[in-house]
A and B are shown apart, each in its own frame.
Chain A
Amino acid sequence: MSSSVILLGMFLSLVALMLTGAPLAFVLGAIAFLTTIIAWGPSALIVSVLNTFETMTSEALMAIPLYIFMASILQKSSIIEDLYNAMETWFSRVNGGLAIGTIIICTIMAAMTGVVGAAVAAMGILALPSMLARRYNTELAVGSICAGGTLGILIPPSVVTIVYAITAQISIGQMFVACIVPGLVLATVYCLYIILRVGLNGDLAPKPEHSRTIPLSEKLLSLKALVLPFLVIISVLGSIYLGLATPTEAAAVGVFGAFLSVLFSGRFKFSILSDAASDTLRVTAMILWITIGARAFISVFVATGGPDSILGFVENLDAAPIVILLTMLLILVFLGLFLDEIGIILLCVPVFLPIVKALGYEPLWFGVLFMITAQMAYITPPFGYTLFYLKGVLPKGISIGTVYRGVIPFFALQILVLGLFLIFPDLVTWLPEQIRDVR
C-alpha cells in the first residue's frame, strides 16, 4: 500500500473516531492496531507493547506525577489561592492581571521542566480554579495556560531541545541558549495580547468588586502570601541550577517544598495529601495512557511509511529557498497534528537538515524555528496533546470546544513570533554568539 494512502487513512480514521467521543488513548491505540494488521501484518502488533515497556521506565516522564503532586498540594492547601489574592491586590489596575500572573508563573515553571504534560497539568490545577473563581473568561484562562505551559519546550531544561541538538549534531548548550530569547519573547507577546484584549473587553477579566485604592501597608502585608510559593520555586530552580539535582529530581524537591509549605502554614490535613495523591494518579494515568496510544500510533505511522510521501516531496522540491523553508515549517505543523515532538524530530530533522544546510541556512536558527513550530503542534486543534492534558483537569462541564476556541488566538500569536524570527535571524543567533565569545 502506498504511503500517501496510509497517511490519509490514518488521518481520516483519527478524526472520525475522535469525534465519536471515545477516549483518545483508545482511539489512538485502536487505529495503530488496525493499521498494523492491514498494512504490516499482525505479528508487528508487538511493537506497541515494546514501546509501552519503554514509556514505563522513562526517567523524564516521572516529572509528570511529581509536578502534579506538588501543584495539587499547593492548590488544596489554599497557598495558591493566597498567592492569587496577593496578585489581585497588586495587579488590580492592570488589565487581566491574573492571566498575566499565570503566564509569568508558567514561564518560571518552564525553567523547571521541559515535560509539557507536567507543566500544563500542574498549571491547570494551580491557576485555573483561581482565575475561574474570579469570573475570568474561561477561554482566555484556558488559552493562557495551554500557551504558557508549552513554553517549557523552548526554555531550558528541555528534553526536546536535547533530542533536536543530538539529531542535528549541534551543541546542546548552544541550542539551550538560542531557545531562551524566543521563549521570553513569546511570554511577553502573550502578556501584551492579554492586556490589549482585556483592554478592549473588560468583561473577559473582571476587576475586583471593591474599586477602592488599597493602602500600601495592606499591599505590603499581602506579600506574605508570596513567601511560601517563592521558597518552593527557589528550591526547585536552585537545585537544578546549582547542580544538585536532575530536572526530574528537582520535581521531587518541589514536592518536598510544597509539603513543608503546608506544614508551616498550619493547614496540614491528611486529606490534603490523600486527595492530592488521587488527583496525581488520575491525571498521570490519563496522560500516560494517551502516551501509550500515541507511541503505538507513531511507530506504526513511521514503519508503514506514512510520512514518506510528504518528506519525499520536500526533498524533490525545486523552488526559492524561502518557499522550501516555509514548506518545511508547514509540514512540521501538519505532522504535529498527530505526532509528538520527539517523533517529529526523529523523522524530520534527518530529512530537513541537509536541505537547510544546502540552502545556506544556519542549523541553530532552523532549530529555533523548529522548536517554535513543535510547540505550536502541541496546541493546534483539533489534535494537540496540551489541549487534552488540560481538558483532563478542567471542571466537568467545560467542553473541549472551549479549549479549542481558547487556544486559537495564542496559536495566531505563535505564528506571528515565528514570522518575526524567520525575518530577523539575528534575534536567534545573537545570544549564543555572545556566550560563545565568553567561553
Chain B
Amino acid sequence: MSFEQFLNMGGYGWYVWPSYALTALVLLINCLSPMLQRKQLLRQLALKQKRGQR
C-alpha cells in the first residue's frame, strides 16, 4: 500500500482524517490548558508572596 493510498482511505480520507485531527486537538487542549493555567497561577502567587515579604 502506498502512502497516497493510505491517506486516501478508500475515498473516505476527507471523513476519516478530520475525525482523528479533531480528536487530537480536543484531547491536547484539555490536557495542556490546565497545565499552562497552573504555571501562570503559580507565577502570580509567587510574585505576590515576594511583594508581601518586603
B is a partner of A:
no
Query: Which B positions have Cβ atoms within 8 angstroms of A?
Result: none
